Structure 1
Amino acid sequence: MEKQIINTPNAPAPIGPYNQAILTGNMLFASGQIALNPATNQLVTDDIVAETHQVMQNVKAILDAAGMDFSDVLKSTIFITDMNDFGKINEAYGSYFSGYYPARETVQVAALPKNVHVEISVIASK
């Protein structure tokens, strides 16, 4: 199967040897997104809700670049540094889905890139 690299200026540029996403057939594998605003190159970490919304906007930009939207997401993985933030993250994350929720796991980790508090990756299919 042919692989297509998905990169958009509307999401943060990769900061290592990876791409924003890979599309193969009808499957999209998106790298984890953090709360880096691609327009300003500044982190949005004022509060966990704003941080989560920026992450989801970055995910949305990648989905858009692949001709998809949140209804195409099959699975997501959420990495957080403090499980006490789960409720607020979950509420912000859930606002991007309408009546259809993907499979998901949420994992607390010791640290994330750039000392952010949340990172989200998705797998989608059209």
Structure 2
Amino acid sequence: MVREEIRTGDAPAPGGAYAQAVDANGFLYTAGTGPHDPATGEVVGDTFAQQTQQVLRNPRVLLPARGLDSRTSSRCPRTSPTCIAITRSATPSTNR
């Protein structure tokens, strides 16, 4: 299996030894970017809804590193994200 780690200054730095994304056999996998501003590393937004928007924004900047965009990708934050809310009370903000 061909596997390549993707790193770019346009996305938040990953924690520990994790990669921002991994290209494996033509599939780009991203995970765990959190609600962090790529430039400062600080959490963006005061509400769960604002932070969710940032979480969904962050993986999009990884797509161009592989010559992709959200219109040509089959599953990306624009079309069908997977987002895990830690508390039930946050679910309505996430589903907007």
The TM-score normalised by the length of structure 1 is: 0.63
Unmatched runs of 5 consecutive residues or more in structure 2: none
Counterpart residue number, 1:55: 55
Task: Give the SS at the match of 2:9.
Answer: coil
Identity of aligned residues (%): 31
Alpha-carbon separation, structure 2, partners of 1:50 and 1:28: 25
Unmatched runs of 5 consecutive residues or more in structure 1: 92-126
- Partner deviation per Cα, 1:69-93 (whole Å, 9 max, x = no partner): 33421764322221222122122xx
CA RMSD of aligned residues (A): 1.8
Counterpart residue number, 2:43: 43
Counterpart residue number, 1:95: none
Structure having the higher strand fraction is: 1
Structure 1 residues 1-126: aligned runs within 5 Å: 1-71=1-71, 72=73, 73=75, 76-91=81-96
Change (3 A) 1:86 1:40: same
- Partner deviation per Cα, 1:87-113 (whole Å, 9 max, x = no partner): 22122xxxxxxxxxxxxxxxxxxxxxx
Task: Give the SS at the match of 1:23.
Answer: strand
- How far apart are residue 36 of structure 1 and its match? 0.7
CA contact (8 A) 2:14 2:33 kept: no
Spell out structure 1 runs of 4+ moving beyond 4 A: none
- How far apart are residue 66 of structure 1 and its match? 2.4
